[in-house]
Structure 1
Amino acid sequence: MTTTDQNTPHKGRAWLMLLLASAFEIGYALSVGGSQAFSVLGWSIAAIIFFLLTLYFLSVALKSIDVGIGYAVWAGIGAVGAAGFGSVLLDQPLTLSQAIWLAVIIGGVVWLKLADSPKLNTDESLAS
């Protein structure tokens, strides 16, 4: 068994933690928006809870995922999610042009994840 094979379950768990961190980041961004500069108690408490959760799950994920890649994926999913859900839940405008560029971000996130796949890394190491 290669080291890549041994790390696969651990990497899978790390990516799951990163997805959870991203979901909590979306919740944090929406809660901060709803808190009206932390003047609405319920939204403010939600923002603090989401903030702590996103930091915890991001820190767990970054134990196994490179910081640059993990942060880019976390920030990308958070930004796209906040824009999408903000449009639906907070009645914030989202233009077609903005939606297209958000789709580009998601494409980048997907490619970053694919670039971290054990199969791709094995093929690259064989080429060197």
Structure 2
Amino acid sequence: MLDTDRTSARSWLLLLLAGTFEVGYALSVGGSHGFTRLSWSLVAVVFFLLTLYALSVALRTIDVGIGYAVWAGIGAVGAALFGPVFFDETLTPFRAWWLGVIIAGVVWLKLADRPARTAAPSRVRL
């Protein structure tokens, strides 16, 4: 594996980690009830700092537009999926459909980020 491939893979893993921290941040903000519950508020601050750090490191090699869209998509989908688990929220089939659209868009963005393969140089015959 080339060094740039390894760097790209690490950046994408960091972006996924940042998205996971974003889910934790969104859920803990919901649990803080407008930052009126100290324990949830402190957890929210920790997740906020973690997600910003991981996102900023990932964006060193991933285009900002694609990285931010993937990060926000992971956060939105994760919060919508785990909201009903931790809070009194509902996930309707209509919402689930649109979450699927977001997931498809995130996957499409990742596929679009692949570097274009260049053809091997042809040999010149004399």
The TM-score normalised by the length of structure 1 is 0.89
- Report 1:71-86 matches (<5 A): 71-86=68-83
Give 1:93's aligned residue. 90
Q: 2: CA distance between counterparts of 1:23 and 1:91?
A: 21
Paired residue secondary structure (2:36): coil
Structure possessing the higher radius of gyration over alpha carbons: 2
- Once residues 51 and 77 of structure 2 are traced to their aligned partners in structure 1, the CA distance between those partners, rounded to angstroms, is 16
In the aligned structure 1, how far is the partner of 2:59 from the partner of 2:88? 33
Q: Quick check: 1:115 aligned with 2:106?
A: no
Q: Give the structure with the higher percent helix.
A: 1
* Distance (Å, rounded) in 1 between the aligned partners of 2:28 and 2:94: 25
Once structures 1 and 2 are overlaid, which stretch shifts more, 21-30 or 87-96?
A: 87-96
Q: Which amino acid aligns with 1:104?
A: V
Q: Where do 5+ consecutive residues of structure 1 fail to align?
A: none
**Number of positions where the alignment pairs a residue of Structure 1 with one of Structure 2:** 119
Distance 1:16 1:98 in 2: 27
- Name the SS of the counterpart of 2:60 in structure 1: coil
Residue 26 of structure 2 aligns to a residue whose secondary structure is helix
Q: Is the aligned partner of 1:38 residue 2:35?
A: yes
Residue equivalent to 1:28: 25
Deviations 1:30-76 (A, max 9, x none): 00000000000110000000000000000000000000000000000
**2:99 counterpart of 1:102:** yes
Unaligned runs of 5+ in 2: 120-126
Say whether residues 1:59 and 2:56 are aligned partners: yes
Identity %: 65
